[in-house]
Structure 1
């Protein structure tokens, strides 16, 4: 049977394996795609090893907080596809990692994964057929206050908020705001100077600045920087559940001060690998001619 490019593509899409590996499997199975898949699955140890370097940018973020708000933890576990991120086996593994990290109050991924959990991860990679990785853990232990959490319903955004004073419920409300609005810092004083300077350069380069006297430009820049800082700072933002009050004012009214927040969003900062199948085939053909 002829091994066509479309057949190779279908096997790649169903297994996530490389083009040449899929082509070889199809040659060995005489073009029977189901037999090729069966043979590839039998080589589970090799498959797990080959998948270890593949990009895992989907997955879930989870949180757990003590009832009294004395400790909170965030966790991100990644998979290659959103489909696997909804798989019960994957979610069970992620929750097991969360429980171990929480019970040990450990935020070091290597320490949490040492031993049985790493073996469980490797077994899951072989069973599911995708790279699974525990990416990061954040732990918060307030010295004088509480921590609250919010996890969005799709498990793709999770937040911890630490308060000095206040309550777990208030911290959770503010965490929900952070999930929705995504502030950069707690208050304007925390904005890094290099970001402020970059923003100033952007503002000065805008068309309406051209030809204006330097003192006018400076006033306009300061005004827009002030607006930028308010929009990017948690305490200055209108509270999502009551836009008439800022988040800072909400906390102050409850006798609390916002100390910090941690916001995880699945896959943020991970560069996903995009494969152009047609270009890859062309490259392989060209290489074979050489």
Structure 2
């Protein structure tokens, strides 16, 4: 069996994104023939696609695509390691898929995977990337906001990696500066809902039950429990709803008040962070 040097192993890994040991074995099998080693890894990758189904794809990136000022799509594409996430092929795939989402507006992830992109289904494109990169590649979620004035903000948690947080904010009228401020705020403060009215009833009921139990365990008078729980629910709104949160650049104002002073209404927002709900 031919011996290989680490420089060739490293070069093969950078080219294919395959694991170090896989690269070493491929070079040994090809007796040092670099091009043949690439082919060996491609074949191995295709055979291993099915084996990766149960593996966890918790890295990746958030991609965005705009069309004018009133239409944008946001996509989370996952892989297994940050090494693949920062690779050109993975990022190009994300750009193609998010553009396809914007153009076709599929109803859900299964519909997206079954849709045709450049003569193949999106699922086939993902499987090809899976085979070539040696990792599980999957679309986790996407959204399209259409209408009004849509602003995006993409945040890198590591300068060496693609954006891991992406936010879309939809306003009822043009205001790029306000939209960016609110999008940056949402990226930093991670609100879950737009406003108190947008929180599902079952979520509030669950929180109310927890607060009631907490209040009783604190020994508060029974007659005061209802009022105390209402206050805690209001505090929960300030933590988890965008419009009730204190604006990160001026905590004397809520985001809702900031928008009202600008004469603009926030219609919707979406915040994705890689690997989080």
**Structure 1 length-normalised TM:** 0.73
Cα offset for 1:224?
1.3
Match of 1:194 in 2: 202
Aligned CA distance change for structure 1 residues 120 and 209 (closer, same or farther; 3 Å): closer
Aligned 1:156-235 pairs, distance under 5 A: 156-206=164-214, 209-235=217-243
**Cα 1:216/1:130, change in 2 over 3 Å:** same
Pair 1:56-2:60 in alignment: no
* 2:123 matches 1:122: no
List per-residue Cα deviations over 1:132-182 (Å, max 9, x = no partner). Answer: 11222210111xx21111111241111111111242332222111111111
Measured after TM superposition, the shift of residue 35 of structure 1 is 4.2
Alpha carbons 2:77, 2:139 under 8 Å: kept? yes
Structure 1 residues 207 and 223 mapped into 2: Cα distance closer, same or farther (>3 Å)? Answer: closer
Return the TM-score normalized by structure 2.
Answer: 0.76
Are the counterparts in 2 of residues 238 and 247 from structure 1 also a CA contact under 8 Å? yes
1 CA distance for matches of 2:116 and 2:167?
22
- Report the 3-state secondary structure (helix = DSSP H, G, I; strand = E; otherwise coil) of the residue aligned with 2:220: coil
Residue 245 (1) aligns with residue 250 (2): no
Could you say if the C-alpha distance between residues 107 and 174 of structure 1 is closer, same or farther in structure 2, counting changes exceeding 3 Å? farther
Mapped pair 1:147 → 2:150: yes
Against the structure 1 CA distance between its residues 198 and 121, is the aligned structure 2 distance closer, same or farther, given a 3 Å change threshold?
Answer: closer
Post-superposition offset of 1:60: 0.5
Contact 1:209-1:217 within 8 A present in 2 as well: no
Give me the whole-angstrom Cα distance separating, in 2, the residues matched to 1:152 and 1:107. Answer: 26
RMSD: 2.9
Higher Cα radius of gyration: 1
Cα separation, 1, equivalents of 2:220 and 2:260: 41
* Distance (Å, rounded) in 2 between the aligned partners of 1:192 and 1:242: 28
Structure 2, unaligned runs of 5 or more:
1-16, 31-36, 158-162
- Once residues 65 and 175 of structure 1 are traced to their aligned partners in structure 2, the CA distance between those partners, rounded to angstroms, is 15
Residues 1:159 and 1:112: Cα distance change in structure 2 (over 3 Å) = farther
Equivalent position of 1:273 in the other structure: none
Residue 3 (structure 1) aligns with: none
